[in-house]
Amino acid sequence: MLNPLLSLFDTAPFSQIENKHFLPAIKELISQTHAEINAIVRNEEAPTFQNTVEALEYSGAQLNRVTDIFFNLNSAETNETIQKLAQEISPLLSDFKNDLLLNQALFERVKAVYDHKDQGSLNTEQTMLLEKQYKGFARNGANLSEANKTKLRKIDQDLSKLSLTFGEHVLADTQAYALHLTDEVQLEGLPEGAKEAAAQTAEEKGKDGWIITLDYPSYIPFMKYAKNRELRKELALAFGARGFQKNDNNNCEIILQIVQLRHQRAELLGFNSHADFVLAERMAKTPEKVTSFLEELLEKAHPAAQQEFDELEAYAKEKDGIDRLEKWDGAYYAEQLKQEKFDLDDEKLKPYFQLEKVIDGVFTVAQKLYGLHFSETNAVDIYHPDVRTYRVSDDQGKEVALFYADFHPRPGKRNGAWMTSYKPQQQKDGKNDRPHISIVCNFTKPTASKPSLLTFNEVTTLFHEFGHALHGMLANTTYPHLSGTNVYWDFVELPSQILENWCYERETLALFATHYETGEVIPQKYVEKIKESTTFHEGMQTLRQISFGLLDMAWHGQDPSGITDVKSFEEAAFSSTQLYPPTPETCMSTAFSHIFQGGYSAGYYSYKWAEVLDADAFEYFQQEGIFNKEVATKFKDHVLSQGGTKDPMDLYVAFRGKSPNPEALLRRAGLLEKN
């Protein structure tokens, strides 16, 4: 059988790939990579950086590319066949990873180089790669007894399957629900664009009327604008009950198994908890430091959040006689109050944020800051007709990257937004291989009468993911595992979060915020109101992020063997951040994909951690001018291009000239003034 995944390719050959190709290709590539590893181990020459560490770094390149394609499709364009394949492929990869990391002879060669690293002439990046490899072995059981290595293999296999199942359950519950409305009165308050999208969804499903789903572009406008409180309640409870219902998709037992296995794994490796294990390779270093960081923020944010909540509850009571503000009321009354305070709402702004123009805008920002140019091409294979591709070049016309963008929701695509990669940047055999980077979002589709118009929140989401993409595109390192976003997890959000700041600046908005019908530039009063409204409910937003970080640390910062009930454990973790009355029917943890399916376990705090960095970094841009080339070049040279070649704090200080000041975040959030 001719298998396109076994041929060498530059761009992913999506149109040639069939689901049946994945399993045999991955099995064959695992076998080929084993052969590469065996060649390193059997090398009779003494271990050196080149014949051991560098050889290991470049091994398995094709396997990595094919598994990236497979798992990216499992997130963006999945189906039952792919999900079943994932359950077969994940244990194979877990076994392969353990075969590699528990290979004693290979470890001995890496250790021999590591033990003599001070005598050699390794540069900074080579030293970092060597340390990363050595720690990779040590942190994954290379020093364990054979019996404990066997235990570790079993744990890793089980974890890989459980996290996949967790994600499948969340997706299944998300897609199983539809709020079918046939009376237009039930849609009162909903903007025309959202109504039209709901009618389009109903039509696609062969129904009359309107259908609201749990996909963000459908769910969020309904929660913000629909006047019917009972329907908001029904939708909110359905959203909050994903993975928590009495059906085959319940994730409670899976969570208890995941946290127990993670804890056992950490103990096997000599750590007190999963959080201790994870944070040893983060800027934060220890669970105590993370908890103290979150609690310091909580102390600053809680009074402001409580004040905002009390004001919102009083407003709802005065407006509609609501005695007790519930979770399904928050977004609705916050939107009303925001409109009254700032005379500003998404429906006024959306006509100025046509997706096509926002894309042009973010490209222009990249051009002004980093000299990048984006040229759309139809000559690249894609996995779905919605996907768009761009060749990225610099001011000299030299190739920088290939960029994929996938903007709209559809069945088989998980909620949210993310950046990923199809090909890493690396330098090998005298050639600088440029990366293939992708962002995936879920923005409202165009309708019969309107183009895709974004809420302001969606604009910031696009800038956020594009910030990650820049980190990938501008990578300029030697080794693929130190390239682009291969950095400490609490540093990876700096490039994404800093770019969001440009959305609030007049100079930036003038580049792309024009009315989709009239071409009128967004009025100055709206720009001022966007700026004014940035700190609206910032206390509550900060409290929400802190609550997720504390929940994550509660699950992973202790021995979880005494936990028997997911819901009551979660309530205890949320007790210091709770504003709304509890809802027994819902559970955050059972759909908390970031920590139980994605890579954020014991790392959710990193969003706030990186906000400290991004607020401080953006103050530097503001001082010198937000499009100042000198500052932008420093950020590119010391942060975006460097990947994980140096300690992130060293990179930050090289860019900024000093350590980050936490007060920059509190200033931007307006929390210093509120307390």
pLDDT of residue 47 exceeding 90, the answer is: yes
For 113, the 3-state DSSP assignment is: helix
Distance (Å, whole) CA 356 – CA 452: 8
Q: What is the mean pLDDT of residues 588-610?
A: 94
**Is 397 in contact with 29 (CB distance < 8 Å)?**
no
Position 568, amino acid: S
* Confidence bin at 1 (pLDDT 50/70/90): low
* Cβ count near 532 (within 10 Å): 12
Q: How far apart are CA 558 and CA 53, in angstroms?
A: 35
Task: Look at residue 672 in the predicted model and tell me its pLDDT.
Answer: 72
CATH of the domain spanning 169-174+242-350+513-600: 1.10.1370.10
DSSP letter at 208? Answer: S
Write the pLDDT tens digit of every residue in 162-172: 999 999 999 99
Torsional class of 643: left (φ above 0), alpha (ψ -120 to 50), beta (otherwise) = left
DSSP annotation of 520 reads P
Question: How far apart, in whole angstroms, are the C-alpha atoms of residue 446 and residue 343?
Answer: 26
Strands 388-393 and 373-377 turn out to be antiparallel
Element (H, E) at 675: none
d(CA 530, CA 553): 34
> Mind listing the pLDDT tens digit for each residue in 35-44?
999 999 999 9
Do the two domains 4-143 and 354-475 of this chain adopt the same fold? no
Domain map (residue ranges) of the chain: 4-143, 169-174+242-350+513-600, 177-229, 354-475, 605-675
- Which residue out of 57, 168, 465, 619 is catalytically annotated? 465
Of 398, 139, 128, the C-alpha closest to 276 is 139
Task: Provide the pairing of β-strand 399-406 with 436-440.
Answer: parallel
What percent of the chain is predicted at pLDDT more than 70?
A: 99
Q: Which residues lie across from 354 on neighbouring strands?
A: 453
Read off the pLDDT of residues 123-149 as tens digits, 9 standing for 90 and up: 999 999 999 999 999 998 998 999 999
Is 465 noted as a catalytic residue in this protein? yes
Burial level of 363, CB count in 10 A (0-12/13-18/19+)? buried
Element (H, E) at 359: helix 355-370
Burial class of residue 63 (count of CB atoms within 10 Å of its CB; 0-12, 13-18, 19+): buried
Please check whether the domain covering 4-143 is classified as CATH 3.30.360.10: no
- The amino acid that residue 498 corresponds to is I
pLDDT of residue 675: 39
Q: What is the pTM of this model?
A: 0.85
First CA to last CA across the chain, in angstroms?
Answer: 68
Architecture of the domain defined by 354-475: 3-Layer(aba) Sandwich (3.40)
Given a contact cutoff of 8 angstroms between Cβ atoms, the answer to whether 429 and 322 are in contact is no
Q: H-helix or E-strand containing 168?
A: helix 146-176
The whole-number pLDDT of residue 673 equals 57
Q: How would residue 662 be classed by pLDDT, with cut points 50, 70 and 90?
A: confident
Q: What is the pLDDT of residue 120?
A: 72
> What's the residue count for the chain?
675
Q: How far is CA 625 from the centre of its chain?
A: 29
327-377 confidence digits (pLDDT tens): 999 999 999 999 999 888 888 899 999 999 999 999 999 999 999 999 999
